[in-house]
Amino acid sequence: MKLLVVGFGQCGGRIVDEFTKLNKKARSQRGIEIITGVFAVNTDAADLSGLSEIPKSYQNRILIGSRKTGGHGVGKINELGAEIAKEDADKIVDAIRTTKRFFESDAFLFIAGGAGGTGSGSIAVIAQSIKERYVDKPVYAMVVLPFEHEESTEDRTIYNTATCLKSTYSVADAVFLVDNQRYVRKDASISGNLAKINSMIVEPFYDLLCAGEEKKQKYIGAKLLDAGDIIQTLVGWTVLGHGRSEIPIFRLPKGKGQDFRKKGDETMKGIRAMDEAISELSLKCNPVDSKRALYLLSAPAKEMNMDLAKALGDYMRDIAPESIIRNGDYPRERGVIDVTVVLSEMSDVEKVRNYYIKSTSLIPEFKRRADETETKLKAVEDAAKDIPSLL
């Protein structure tokens, strides 16, 4: 499957940088292309210059709203981000539309941090413009949810995330939810390491996108997972994960009973990889709530067997009993068993629900603060009424 990826705001741009790297890796390791175009959209010129992989041209690094912000961002006001995106929508759509390999794209993937101003405000606006123009191509969004410490220090964090999620969900075909906090859970040392987190965020996309693009017979699985399967799976709230088990590259010569033991071993390792994929999902959620799911097993051809395929299928069925489950195998890896999991059409996502509830209670508080500021300003103005003006 080939994606055209667009990042909005700093977070979005950096993750697209990571997707650009992923495409380079697919090209050099596997000789295939999985990305048709990379774009970063921002109100902040410095953030655009800070990117490293996206081509430096103004068609790929798109500065919007420079008349309003002077190229310095919108300072967390996502309403302003949305307004600027509406004004400059044509500029963005034209850049996307005229990219060389536009028509090879199976879908769009738009990415933004929910808590900021530019990305949070603009992602849904541009998703809507693209959706109206290209009715047949799915538009997927990835919204990155803030770290816990950001939520506790600034109310805008929650409010921006809630408004971004609501608007994006209403226009995109599916929304990948990615919770920043999940990536520091296991290893606190990476808490400040956004680059590391970004590479973990894009990791599950590697095999998922590559599997259907293989042209060589020996890398095509018994059950090929292609763009059609992925598009059929992606609807509404979506999470994804990736897990891996190491397996020895060289084996001792076959002894009596070893074949049987080996098969059992592989099945265990496959299950362990799937376990990891599920426990490392991009957002904590209950798999029972998913209505569509997908898993991809990637391992050396000789390690894939019916027992392993059945064990993984049973595992998925157990955790997501109401889901339509699609699957595929990808005989590519050496020395590892990789499992990629996507859970989609989630009927309930606690974290999203909480953002909505908390923001609703914040609205009167924001109004009260705005009124208070106005009253104070008025008082200052009143006090100045007898002072002569120099203008």
Query: SS3 for 356?
Result: helix
Among 6, 17, 34, 44, binds Mg ion (CB under 5 A): 44
Encoded one letter per residue, x for contact with ligand GTP by CB under 6 A and - for no contact, window 181-220 reads: -------------x--xx----------------------
Give yes or no for residue 65 binding ligand GTP (CB under 6 A). Answer: no
**CB-based contacts of 23: which residues, under 8 Å, 6+ apart?**
33, 34, 35, 38
Give yes or no for residue 81 binding Mg ion (CB under 5 A). Answer: no
Give yes or no for residue 74 binding ligand GTP (CB under 6 A). Answer: yes
CB 81 within 8 A of CB 118: yes
Helix (H) or strand (E) holding 375: helix 350-383
Residue 144 binds which entry of Mg ion, ligand GTP, none, CB below 5-8 Å type-dependent = ligand GTP
Give yes or no for residue 167 binding ligand GTP (CB under 6 A). Answer: no
What is 324-346 written as a DSSP string? EEEEEEETT-SSEEEEEEEEEEE
Give yes or no for residue 75 binding ligand GTP (CB under 6 A). Answer: yes
Among 5, 10, 88, 323, binds Mg ion (CB under 5 A): 10
Residue 314 burial (10 A CB sphere; 0-12, 13-18, 19+): exposed
Look at residues 102, 110, 104, 55 and name the one whose alpha carbon lies nearest to residue 85: 110
- Contacts to ligand GTP from residues 10-29, by CB under 6 A: 10-11, 14
Give the CA dihedral 316, 320, 324, 328, nearest 10 degrees.
-20
Among 36, 105, 118, 233, binds ligand GTP (CB under 6 A): 118
CB-nearer residue toward ligand GTP: 60 or 290: 60
Query: SS3 for 217?
Result: helix
User: Which of the ranges 51-59, 71-79, 85-93, 275-283 carries the binding residues for ligand GTP, by CB under 6 A?
Assistant: 71-79
Interface residue list for ligand GTP (CB under 6 A): 9-11, 14, 43-44, 73-76, 113, 115-120, 144, 146-147, 150, 180, 194, 197-198
